């Protein structure tokens, strides 16, 4: 189909592809300028006065999304059948919604722990027999501490290996982020040493001279290493690290080396800082081509090659 407009001919080409599926592509070409407009590209935003076209820095930002949608509030279109469908398709989210109401009731009615009493820790209650066993068997406590230190060494060796040998800095970046945040939080709030703490001279940090309780770097480091193993399809190593991390958590609770909340936040910290390291790596390091591996020492601009 053609249309005459001021001496220029504009062709509208419609191609329909049948067989497996139907696909329509539109291509609009202006023969006067020899340019072709990609229909998949969104139209450019109108330029503000005094701003040159094509200046990305000067392109006006779109207006904010209104708080009240033009079509009205979302809940106005809800129905009983729709809510039932949500319950069928998203049972986990519904369980979380009920748990929100449940724990709101618990929080507003639970008696507070006195300032003169030790913290109430369910993990300590569950591991009380193990704590007594470690207190009465120093040799067993030392053995478990030594094994735990070996596991920390395994985490460290793997994370450093991925950087120095494989040239993949993400686990190392995640560990740097994690331990920096842990140091800031540990200095901000210094928790008291739990009652019944069973230290050992072979534990890491060596001798337990002093250390931060919140949050567990032991657990977070193991999570960072395990996540990297999954990305590289080292499934067997990841399962071993997860199992050892679980045993490590039980041992830390039994020896009163960490509160339960320290271990739980350690797991979350491993995921969070691994994700942040990935975002940092994606924003700073060029993937693919000549600069697939990061160049930290050169002065060239990897972004422009």
What's the rounded mean pLDDT across residues 104-126?
Answer: 93
What's the rounded mean pLDDT across residues 206-228?
Answer: 89
Report pTM.
0.72
Q: Which of 32, 33, 90, 218 is catalytic?
A: 218
- Does the active-site annotation cover 262? yes
Instruction: Identify the burial level of 211 via C-beta atoms within 10 angstroms of its C-beta, where 0-12 means exposed, 13-18 middle and 19 or more buried.
Output: middle
Instruction: Output the pLDDT for position 201.
Output: 86
What average pLDDT is seen over the chain? 81
Instruction: Output the pLDDT for position 29.
Output: 40
- Does the active-site annotation cover 33? no
29 phi and psi, to 5 degrees? Answer: -120, 135
Q: In the 8-state DSSP scheme, what is residue 4?
A: E
- Does the active-site annotation cover 291? no
Is the model's pLDDT at 183 over the cut of 50?
Answer: yes
> Using 50, 70 and 90 to split pLDDT, how confident is the model at 132?
very high
Which of 55-64, 164-173, 206-215 has the highest mean predicted lDDT (pLDDT)?
164-173
Q: Which of 262, 274, 275, 291 is catalytic?
A: 262
Is the model's pLDDT at 134 over the cut of 60?
Answer: yes
What's the rounded mean pLDDT across residues 181-187?
Answer: 95
State the alpha helices, DSSP H only, in 44-169.
Answer: 80-89, 91-109, 122-126, 128-136, 138-164
- Assign 3 to helix, strand or coil: strand
CB atoms within 10 A of CB 257: 25
91-109 and 80-89 are packed helices; what angle lies between their axes, rounded to 10 degrees? 90
Q: Which of 203, 228, 258, 274 is catalytic?
A: 258
């Amino acid at each position: 189909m053609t249309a005459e407009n001021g001496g220029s001919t504009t062709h509208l080409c419609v191609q329909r592809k049948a067989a497996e599926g139907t696909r329509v592509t539109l291509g609009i070409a202006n023969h006067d300028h020899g340019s072709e407009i990609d229909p998949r590209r969104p139209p450019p935003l109108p330029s503000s006065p005094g701003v040159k076209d094509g200046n990305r820095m000067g392109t006006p930002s779109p207006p904010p999304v209104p708080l009240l949608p033009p079509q009205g509030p979302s809940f106005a279109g809800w129905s009983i059948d729709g809510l039932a469908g949500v319950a069928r398709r998203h049972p986990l989210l519904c369980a979380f919604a009920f748990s929100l109401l449940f724990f709101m009731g618990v929080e507003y009615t639970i008696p507070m722990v006195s300032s003169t009493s030790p913290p109430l820790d369910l993990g300590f209650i569950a591991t009380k027999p193990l704590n007594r066993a470690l207190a009465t068997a120093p040799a067993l406590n030392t053995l478990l501490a030594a094994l735990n230190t070996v596991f920390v060494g395994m985490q460290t060796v793997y994370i450093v290996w991925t950087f120095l040998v494989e040239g993949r800095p993400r686990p190392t970046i995640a560990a740097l982020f994690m331990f920096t945040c842990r140091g800031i939080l540990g200095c901000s709030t210094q928790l008291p040493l739990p009652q019944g703490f069973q230290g050992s001279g072979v534990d890491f940090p060596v001798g337990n001279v002093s250390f931060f309780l919140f949050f567990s770097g032991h657990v977070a480091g193991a999570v960072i290493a395990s996540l990297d193993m999954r990305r590289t399809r080292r499934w067997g190593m990841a399962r071993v690290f997860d199992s050892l991390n679980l045993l490590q958590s039980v041992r830390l609770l039994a020896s009163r080396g960490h509160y339960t909340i320290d271990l739980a936040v350690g797991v979350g910290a491993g995921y969070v800082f691994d994700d942040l390291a990935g975002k940092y790596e994606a924003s700073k390091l060029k993937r693919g081509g000549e600069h697939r591996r990061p160049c930290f020492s050169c002065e060239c601009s990897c972004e422009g090659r």
